[in-house]
């Protein structure tokens, strides 16, 4: 699967990226004029792709600084669509094999921490993989990484500090840090599940990101992930949840997210 993806990439004639950016629900923001693209992600992936309502599935190659191209995946796929863990991790693995040393992800998340408000941007400091899946299961190619990779500091502390620095420089609200619970979905959590997640120490809940981070760390990539709190989790306010609320929050925060990501990808320390 990966070899076919690499062949498709080479067919585009794009230079190898130094970093990979993957956007989440309603967060496919513009990060400047692309040097190449956009092209449908389906032109690169060696398996059929279908988007979730409100998502795009496109690839662009950005050039925020000379000699440091950034592959920007506008949208992602999820296991709740029927994809396997290895398919979800495909673009992270492709980026690494092309030379990307860093992956920066965004996602939409429910706020489990009562101090979070809709619209808050939160850096993921750690995660709980509650999906029941792992992209490292089975026999992987030799040279990809250890069978039992260490996940301490999976979300790079230096990159989190860099993000806080850029947010402060841009005059954005201070970025909180929290633990992200990765869930299978697509149903939202019940109030009882939300109470369980808070007991486990989760601050955020969502349906993406953790499998990609596991695959990235297995390959030695540095990871940075930013969650947009779109709503209080089920039972926190007593109001029902719906997908349109998530997308609306993404649209409202798009300007702040775009400014922060554009500033980050232009900083050589992101890929250094």
Q: What's the CATH number where 90 sits?
A: 3.40.50.1580
Q: With pLDDT > 90 as the criterion, what percentage of the chain qualifies?
A: 77
Q: What is the pLDDT of residue 238?
A: 60
Residue 240 has pLDDT above 80, yes or no: no
The whole model's pTM is what?
Answer: 0.94
Residue 25 has pLDDT above 80, yes or no: no
Tell me the C-alpha to C-alpha distance, in Å, between residue 190 and each of 91, 113, 130, 161, 240.
31, 16, 15, 34, 10
Among 25-29, 59-63, 195-199, 215-219, the range scoring the smallest mean pLDDT is 25-29
Q: How far apart are CA 183 and CA 189, in angstroms?
A: 9
Residue 234 has pLDDT above 90, yes or no: no
Reference 75, options 201, 212, 196; nearest CA is 212
- Per-residue pLDDT, averaged over 188-217, amounts to 96
Q: What is the pLDDT of residue 249?
A: 67
Q: What is the pLDDT of residue 251?
A: 74
- Per-residue pLDDT, averaged over 161-188, amounts to 96
Q: How far apart are CA 90 and CA 5, in angstroms?
A: 9
Give φ, ψ of 218 to 5 degrees: -60, -35
Q: What is the pLDDT of residue 156?
A: 98
Q: Where does the pLDDT of residue 213 fall: very low under 50, low under 70, confident under 90, or very high at 90 and above?
A: very high
Indicate the Cα dihedral angle 163, 169, 174, 180, nearest 10°.
-10
Q: Which residue has the higher pLDDT, 168 or 52?
A: 168
Q: What is the pLDDT of residue 124?
A: 98
Domain containing 42: what range?
2-270
Q: Which residue has the higher pLDDT, 197 or 246?
A: 197
Q: How many domains does the chain have?
A: 1
- Per-residue pLDDT, averaged over 196-216, amounts to 97
Q: What is the pLDDT of residue 39?
A: 96
Residue 212 has pLDDT above 80, yes or no: yes
Residue 237 has pLDDT above 60, yes or no: no
- With vertex at residue 95, the alpha carbon angle to CA 26 and CA 61, rounded to the nearest 5 degrees, is 60
Q: Which residue has the higher pLDDT, 252 or 72?
A: 72
Among 1-15, 184-198, 242-256, the range scoring the smallest mean pLDDT is 242-256
């Amino acid at each position: 699967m990966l070899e076919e993806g690499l062949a498709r990439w080479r067919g585009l004639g794009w230079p190898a990226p130094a970093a990979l950016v993957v956007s989440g629900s309603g967060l496919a923001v513009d990060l400047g004029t692309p040097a190449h693209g956009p092209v449908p992600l389906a032109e690169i992936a060696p398996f059929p792709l279908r988007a979730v309502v409100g998502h795009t599935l496109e690839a662009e190659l950005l050039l925020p600084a000379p000699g440091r191209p950034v592959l920007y995946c506008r949208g992602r796929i999820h296991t709740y669509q029927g994809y396997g863990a290895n398919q979800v991790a495909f673009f992270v693995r492709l980026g690494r094999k092309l030379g990307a040393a860093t992956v920066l992800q965004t996602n939409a998340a429910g706020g489990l921490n009562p101090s979070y408000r809709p619209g808050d941007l939160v850096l993921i400091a750690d995660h709980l993989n509650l999906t029941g899946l792992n992209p490292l299961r089975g026999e992987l190619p030799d040279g990809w990484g250890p069978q039992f990779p260490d996940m301490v500091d999976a979300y790079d502390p230096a990159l989190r500090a860099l993000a806080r620095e850029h947010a402060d420089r841009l005059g954005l609200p201070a970025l909180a840090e929290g633990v992200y619970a990765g869930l299978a979905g697509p149903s939202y959590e019940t109030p009882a599940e939300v109470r369980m997640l808070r007991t486990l120490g989760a601050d955020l809940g969502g349906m993406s990101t953790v499998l990609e981070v596991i695959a990235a760390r297995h390959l030695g990539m540095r990871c940075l992930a930013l969650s947009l709190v779109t709503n209080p989790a089920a039972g926190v306010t007593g109001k029902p949840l719906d997908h349109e609320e998530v997308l609306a929050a993404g649209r409202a925060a798009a300007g702040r997210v775009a400014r922060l990501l554009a500033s980050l990808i232009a900083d050589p320390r992101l890929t250094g």
